[in-house]
A and B are shown apart, each in its own frame.
Chain A
Amino acid sequence: MGSRIIIERYTKGQVRLAVLTTRHKRGQMIKFSQQQLKTPKFMRPVYLVTAGQSKYGRAIPEKRTEELCIDALTMAAELLNLTPAELKKYIHTCYYGHFADHFGDQLLGEAVIHDRLGLDPLGNVGIKSGGATGGSTLWEAAKAVASGYSDCVLAMGWERMDEVPTDEGNFLIACAADRDWESPMGQIYTGYYAVMAQKYWQVFGKAEASFRRTLAEISVKHHGYARFNPFAHGAMKITVDDVLMSPMVADPLRALDACLMSVGAACAILCDEDTAMELTENTKNKPLRIWVTAGSHTLRPADRRTMEIPLLPNETADQYKKLGKEFPGADRYPGFTGFLAARIAAYYAYRMTGVTDPTADFDVIELHDAFTISDVQTYEDIGIRPYGHGRDYVESGDCYHTNPHTGRPGKLPSNLSGGLIGCMHAVGASGIMQVFEIASHLWGRWAEVHGDEKRWKEFGREKPADWTDLQVTGAKRALSVSHAGVGSHVTATVLMDPDHLLKKDA
């Protein structure tokens, strides 16, 4: 009942914001206008009809990038019982997510891929937004269909980070930070992110050994789920102690707390309703409604000013009144502990789709686990748990396919693909891989896609004897979050079975 009242308030365009207890002598708090916080609206429904991906690896010297993209598109066609040539005939515009030109030493790499996919004379465009590139690519693709410009579009993302030595790779990634104010300091992007992790660790984690173990549990979970995913290259059967003994990267984060660096490609095909019905007729893919929203925050964390917490539908202003007391040092929002871009992406997405409680409304999610600690931060930014209480999502067992404490299905399983820690982080592809994964649950095809012996063999990987079907039974709604580094860009992608919408006019 309470949540219904909240929805009505939103539709009237009112904006509720929590009031932080401490007013600072640090200049004015920044505010956002009603226009900026408008609930986004598609002009017509958009459907995800299929998706595909290549094998992922730390290095794939035997294949050029376009070979990986062709693998992904071919798979997407096969899931619709089509040949790539048949599917290509439907595509009207193309959106290519590729973050780091300089890694592959090929400017306009998107044009190379477009050419090799043989998609002339279609309009196409490259999209880059750091780690969120995959999500941003879907954002652009969805809007193209929603506006009526195109009836069928290709969103394809890839990355190739194996063509330079690791230290040069770190340098190239650091080029995404401010070249005058940040990168000269160590040329190591991880360091720029890690100061934020340290703040969260001390303020919300209270530097507790028990919290450190919870972080390690996330790594165990993601490397473990990756064992059942033939596409993944970070499969590991490890324990919490293995994580805690792995080499230190930036205290308290260790090597096994960090995401992979990967090569690979992923794609998705988005359509209007008529095309979606035609393409999925007599296939196992039910067209899924798709919405994508995006948020941003300063490129340099240094520039982040204090503001009131933008509230999600399942939060109240009151609940954050004592945040600074409960967690000393947490009186500055978002400070270095929250990601405003993630919060805003969720803020738009939940209002757009009628989500009032993400834990209850979604059945499966894929989050951008760049580090174990940023996974926890995201639980809070997107409202799975209130600020300060993200760890409970793991400790309760809710985040598992099967809750280890109860043996029953987890309330909201996350990153069953293995995520960025266990499956891959081929930057431009990551946000699309996530959508491929959650869609496979909604299509009820998870076991078929991940269990196929032929695929394991083709990828040169051994299917484990204890391979487990991670299909989330009866999944109808799902969320994925794509996130750039220190939180400059974040997107939220919502998928729903069209027969299980939360809001009629969404």
Chain B
Amino acid sequence: MSQYGQVQVKDNRYKFRGDFHRLEQHMPIRNADEGWKLVGVTKPRDMTYVHTYGGEAIFFESLSQGKLLATKCENPACEANGSIFQPFRIYCPDCLSKGTVIDMTDLAKKSATVHTFMVCERSGAFNMLDKPIRFINIEFENVCTILFSYLLVGEPHMGMRVVPVFKYHNPTYTILDLSWVPAGTKAESLPEGFGF
């Protein structure tokens, strides 16, 4: 039985263990309408990417700890001084100085509203979310951007007050660990693994 590829950083280098790809046979593609003549071949491939979050790692780590982090430009010389960015931006897009990391969990609980939404019946390969997916974009007070995420419970509408929920158990360490539910939702109606 093959083993999932696993990676650690040790001595500032990636250390690989397990299987990172599987070998599969190419198969001919033939034309059923023209005497089964050869058209081409299939090229199966199964690979595992190794990806760093770099300066955003703290954001993704914090989700499963129930914290929504953002950044704020505190450069007094910057036109965007005081702007809070969510999505978390390592650097201010205007002055390119490093943003101050702030915890905006309470701000989100108090002020998150749905700016727009979309209920999507389809998905692409490798999708991990249940369908239909309820995409929402969320506005916050004093935040200059509009976060893209998904609604876990209920049906979205514009102006809807929502609160963040986090995947505390079996986190994926991806943006999927953050989701939203209508304000007033009870803890017992959250899917397994999620909490306020």
Query: What residues of A have a CB within 8 angstroms of the CB of B141 in the complex?
Result: 25
Mark B99-135 against chain A: 1 for CB-CB distance below 8 A, else 0.
Answer: 0000000000000000111111111111111000101
Specify which chain B residues have a CB less than 8 angstroms from the CB of A250 in the assembled complex.
Answer: 118-122
Distance to closest chain A CB from B131 (angstroms): 8
Chain A 302-333 interface mask (CB, 8 Å, partner B; 1/0): 11111000000000000000000000010000
Contact A167 B116 (CB under 8 A): no
Q: By the criterion CB–CB under 8 Å, are B137 and A301 in contact? A: yes
6 closest Cβ pairs, A-B complex: A170-B124, A187-B124, A27-B83, A27-B144, A171-B124, A199-B116
User: How many interface residues does chain B have, given as a range?
Assistant: 35 or more
Chain A window 154-182, contacts with chain B (Cβ cutoff 8 Å), 1 for yes, 0 for no: 00000000000101111111100001111
A-B contact count (CB 8 A): 157
Within 116-174 of B, Cβ neighbours of A (below 8 Å) are at 116-129, 133, 135-137, 141-150, 158, 172, 174
Binary contact readout B58-102 vs A (1 if CB under 8 angstroms, 0 otherwise): 001000000000000000000111111111010001100000000
Chain A, interface size: which category? 35 or more
Chain A nearest CB, measured from B33 CB (Å)? 11
Residues of A within 8 A of B93 (CB): 303
A479 within 8 A of B: no
Q: Which of A165, A194, A202 contacts B158 (CB 8 A)?
A: A202
- A95 interfacial contact with B, CB 8 Å: no
User: A180 to B53, Cβ gap below 8 A?
Assistant: yes
Give min CB distance, A218 to chain B, whole Å: 20
Whether B124 contacts A188 by the Cβ 8 Å rule is: yes
| A44 beta carbon closer than 8 Å to chain B | no
| Contact assessment for A187 and B125 in the assembled complex, using a CB-CB cutoff below 8 Å | yes
State whether A191 touches B142 (Cβ < 8 A).
no
Closest-by-CB residue of A relative to B39 is A61
Q: Is the CB of A181 within 8 A of B175?
A: yes
Chain B residues within CB distance 8 Å of chain A: 29, 31, 39-40, 43, 51, 53, 56, 60, 79-87, 89, 93-94, 115-129, 133, 135-137, 141-150, 158, 172, 174-176
Contact between A303 and B145 (Cβ–Cβ < 8 Å)? yes
Q: Is A406 an interface residue (CB 8 A)?
A: no
How far is B167's CA from A340's CA once the two chains are assembled, in angstroms? Answer: 35
Q: Given contacts A105-B43, A168-B124, A187-B124, is CB(A192)–CB(B148) below 8 Å?
A: yes
How far, in Å, is B176 (CB) from chain A's closest CB?
A: 5
Chain A residues within 8 Å of B119, by CB: 250-251
B62 → chain A closest CB, angstroms:
14
B142:A25 contact, CB within 8 angstroms: yes
